[in-house]
Amino acid sequence: MTSPAAGSAAAAQLAVLTKAFKELFSTTFIGFSIATALYGISVLQAYLYFRRYTKD
């Protein structure tokens, strides 16, 4: 059986890893959201350009 000290050490380590994962995921999600918005704007601009200027 494990001792109570080992259990609390594992819980503390899990808390640190969870916090690090949340920080990484949040920054990744923000970057993904910005990149997706910029990509959508670019696609919209290209679509509108080729709809208006069909002879290009």
The pair of structure tokens assigned to 25 is: 């995921």
The pair of structure tokens assigned to 40 is: 């959508």
Write the DSSP string, the chain: ---HHHHHHHHHHHHHHHHHHHHHHHHHHHHHHHHHHHHHHHHHHHHHHHHH-TT-
Give phi and psi for 3, each to the nearest 5.
Answer: -80, 160
- Predicted confidence at residue 7, as pLDDT, reads 67
Look at residue 47 and give its three-state secondary structure. Answer: helix
- Predicted confidence at residue 30, as pLDDT, reads 94
pLDDT, tens digit, 9 for 90 and up, residues 1-24:
556 666 687 888 888 888 888 888
Give dist(CA 43, CA 1) in Å, integer. 60
pLDDT, tens digit, 9 for 90 and up, residues 23-41:
888 999 999 999 999 999 9
pTM over 0.85: no
